[in-house]
Structure 1
Amino acid sequence: MTSSAASAQYLRDLALLRRVRDRIDREYAQPLDVEALARGVNMSAGHLSRQFRRAYGESPYSYLMTRRIERAMALLRTGELSVTEVCFTVGFSSLGTFSTRFAELVGMPPSVYREQQAAATVGMPPCVAKQVTRPIRNREARPSATT
């Protein structure tokens, strides 16, 4: 394959990857798996996973989990729904899995987050609140100041 053909293929793959990312953003609460996402863009699951990670720095599954947890954080801050209701609203089918993933990304269980963060973004524009409260994966977390 020539470099221009490889470049053209890469650009086509990027367009498909954007479609996958947009689908995850839209349908995060639906049952999604890599195979279904790959079928939607006529790629193999392995190729989609490799290309998605190359383009966005994380697997499609990790991206989906991050989107679900971001939405859960927003819902928990409102205090209108219970932790269990939030769990199912954002697309998890197991409260245990939800709590584990939430704690991995946020650093505390969802019930503690709900108690501590309910008033943290009051009066803050939603676009700023989303950026300030974006979950950080543990491997990306900054070291604590207590060391």
Structure 2
Amino acid sequence: MTSRTTPEQRLTDLARLRRVRDRIDREYAQPLDVEALARGVHMSAGHLSRQFRLAYGESPYGYLMTRRIERAMALLRRGDLSVTEVCFAVGCASLGTFSSRFTELVGVPPSVYRRQAADEAAGIPSCLAKQVTRPIRNREARSRPPQLA
């Protein structure tokens, strides 16, 4: 989407980027990499990464990890799975990477979040809990938990 890009090409690229984002939303638990995502929309991996960041403010990998962490938060709030089970259920292959990224986005490790979520979300409808506990993208995690009052 440079200055030489025609409006028609820009719209085509945006449609491709939307398809990539939708695929990540649908298949977040599957092994996905930028090369495979780029092949699916007939773009190079570098071009996809640059254009995705311009359109959505983060890399395809960052967006994928945010989706995985959002789903992990929901599974941890349920409380019936261990942190390791949640890690693998959302498509992460490394517990260390999962825990690091979770802590970066949410502000606390997954095990602490699981304990806190059981107390804080008691009696709150799941649709509201999802909005209140959504991870923050492109910024540092909150220093304190959200206030529910």
Normalising by structure 1, what TM-score?
0.88
- The answer for the alignment partner of 1:20 in structure 2 is 20
Contact 1:87 1:98 in 2 (8 A): yes
CA distance in 2, matches of 1:121, 1:88: 24
Counterpart residue identity of residue 93, structure 1: A
Q: Find the aligned partners of 1:137 and 1:23 in 2 and give their Cα distance.
A: 19
SS in 1 for 2:120: coil
Q: Write the mapping of 1:109-124 to structure 2, written as runs, cut at 5 A.
A: 109-124=109-124
Residue 69 of structure 2 corresponds to 69
What is the aligned partner in structure 1 of residue 40 from structure 2? 40
Structure 1 spans left out of the alignment, 5+ residues: none
* Counterpart residue number, 1:7: 7
Name the amino acid aligned to 2:18.
R
Write the distance in 2 (CA, Å) between the matches of 1:123 and 1:117: 11
Q: Is the 8 A contact 1:104 1:137 kept in 2?
A: no
Partners in 1 of 2:97 and 2:143 — Cα distance?
A: 26
CA contact (8 A) 2:58 2:138 kept: no
Aligned-pair identity (%): 79
Q: Give the paired residue count.
A: 142
Counterpart residue type for residue 69 of structure 1: I
Q: CA RMSD in A?
A: 2.0
1:93 aligns with 2:93: yes
Q: Distance in 1 between matches of 2:123 and 2:65?
A: 27
Query: How far, CA to CA, are the matches of 1:10 and 1:73 in structure 2?
Result: 35
Q: Say which SS state the counterpart of residue 61 (structure 1) adopts.
A: helix
Structure 1 distance, partners of 2:129, 2:91, is 22
User: Would the alpha carbon gap of residues 82 and 142 (structure 1) be closer, same or farther in structure 2, given more than 3 Å must change?
Assistant: closer
For residues 72-110 of structure 1, give each alpha carbon's deviation from its aligned partner in whole angstroms, at most 9, with x where no partner exists. Answer: 000000101000100000001111111111111111110
Match of 1:133 in 2: 133
Task: Tell me the TM-score normalized by structure 2.
Answer: 0.87
Change (3 A) 1:143 1:95: closer
For 1:80, the aligned partner's letter is D
Once the 2 structures are TM-superposed, how far is the Cα of residue 119 of structure 1 from its aligned partner? 3.6
Q: Which residue of 1 aligns with 2:82?
A: 82
After TM superposition, give the deviation of residue 120 of structure 1 in Å: 2.4
Structure 1 residues 90 and 103: alpha-carbon distance in aligned structure 2, compared to 1, 3 A threshold: same
Deviation at 1:37, TM superposition (A): 0.3
Describe the SS at the equivalent of 1:118.
Answer: helix
- Quote the residue 1:57 is aligned against: 57
CA contact (8 A) 2:105 2:135 kept: yes
